[in-house]
Structure 1
Amino acid sequence: MKPKIFIDGEHGTTGLQIRTLLAERQDLDIISVPVERRKEKAARAEFLNAADIAILCLPDDAARESVSLIENDTTRVIDASTAHRVAEGWEYGFAEMDKDQPARIASAKRLANPGCWPQGPIATLRPLVSGGLLPADFPITINGITGYSGGGRTMIEDYVAKGESASEFLPYGLTLEHKHVPEIKTYAGLSHDPIMQPAVGNFAQGMVTVVPLQLGALDYVPTGADLHAAIADHFAAIDGGVVEVAPFQQLERAPDIDPERYNGTNRMKVHVFANDNRAQALLIAVYDNLGKGASGAAVQNLDLMLGLKH
């Protein structure tokens, strides 16, 4: 019998993307609440409890409610909201985070799908912190730009309506209370909150994250080659991973560092640039905010939980 998959919130941005990615799958039974019952809590509860895996594409409070409606011990959950990303009892769904992470995801009953912004910084920082090249208390700043689809339906409608007059570079999170900070701190292995300076661009999807490093104050100053080797070795050890590490090169600019380069895929590419004379480095990740940053990661995690190739 095919596993039953229920997407709770299938008409939102992430839910629609997941539904599209699964549309041609013949190995899954996608179940949906009938349109006329969509607003009934009892209908959601019925389908949540009928599913083998429920994928929650909801605001945080609604996601918590959905979990509370599950009364059996068989429905497994992938939550794409922020609600459970650092919650006790929930596994984190970044499959390339550690060598044993795919196995942990495969056995998880409750899985928090990562946010779009955290995956690039975690991918670049965690290997360096766990490998001892950066101390956990190292001061971290994260910059970057994402497509406006990351802001949900309201932002999408606003950008589409404004067209070419929409802001090309709109910084936000200026209160320094970005919702992804706890997630990055936890899974990058940091002991202090990083500073996040995200921005939205006038393009639908895709993103680039940048972590600049001032290394000169360290007792041992790693070279750019040291940083690159640690990151490359980390991802080389991940069986079936989708994160690629670019060759370590001295470049003034790299055309493939384009936020839209991996749109429509579940890929991520990591770059390391450095000036050893200045003891400075840049850690850059390029991926689709709706791919590896959301829906693509959810499908990758779904396949791991079902024991299927991804």
Structure 2
Amino acid sequence: MQFAIEALDLVKRFGDDARPAVDGVSFTVAPGTVLGLLGPNGAGKTTTVRMMTTLTAPTSGTARVAGYDVVREPDAVRRNMGLTGQVATVDELLTGRENIRMIGGLYGIRRKDLKQLGDQLLEQFSLTDAADRVVKSYSGGMRRRLDLAVSLLASPPVLFLDEPTTGLDPRSRNELWDALRALVRQGTTLLLTTQYLEEADQLADNIVVIDKGRIIAEGSPLQLKQQAGNASLVVTVTKAEDLPAAQALLAKTGAEVFVDTGARELTATAEGLDDMVRVAGWLRDSNIAVDDIGLSRPSLDDVFLSLTGHRSEEEVDA
């Protein structure tokens, strides 16, 4: 199998005596999938992307994009990838349509083909109504969508997105996520750097967690969550007087039960759905009414805290 993206022991130092900003990073991305490169500010995510997109040379190691080596074949890499950075790069004084014409012209796309492709991309990213307005009047979400549309003019099989939703409001973020999911359905391979755990959870097939320039964990979102511990069974009883009886029932699973009297809530570790179904049956048979019962799995934030000792949004030394 030829991977769409490969990082091969990438190292980057800025200065001879400096601690590496990226220290031996290796991973692969299968075609048509999404890899989330997750880590706090200063972890080395952007430096990794800059090496993989030929914007900076590795100190050692290399990478391959669409089968081409970033050190030996940089021109071929650039022809087969798109990049959306942390800041939208579209020209604010041009309209959306003019931005597409300008960048398409730089790519050498024929005018007739460019018109059709531009209209297609504007529609795909819900920008048709704003196509002839200057970008200066766009919202942050609209600019990011235009930036993404421009990066797709050459139909690259691989797309790198460096914290693409930073600064966006929740609605704009969700709209951009929908656009990215549509690209993946069409076969595009994405590498997404983010410090938003929810974003990685929503979009990524696999996640690489990087901290202080090194990979500290990798796997699917579910696999990483499982590293942080078992799920929790949470039961909210209707009547506070039923708490002792409910606690005794949950204890039959063999788990320690934590009781929040004020919230009428009991929490215990659980292996999964079977435990929840079994406890629900015991409660029903004992005529204990419940307002809610469910499983709460560890979040990616819990994973990051268990791996690094700090939350994802906390900055570390660069």
TM-score bracket relative to the smaller structure: under 0.3
Q: Which has the higher contact order (CA 8 A, sep 6+)?
A: 2
Q: TM-score, normalised by structure 1?
A: 0.25
Which is greater in Rg?
A: 2
Greater per-residue strand proportion: 2
Q: TM-score, normalised by structure 2?
A: 0.25
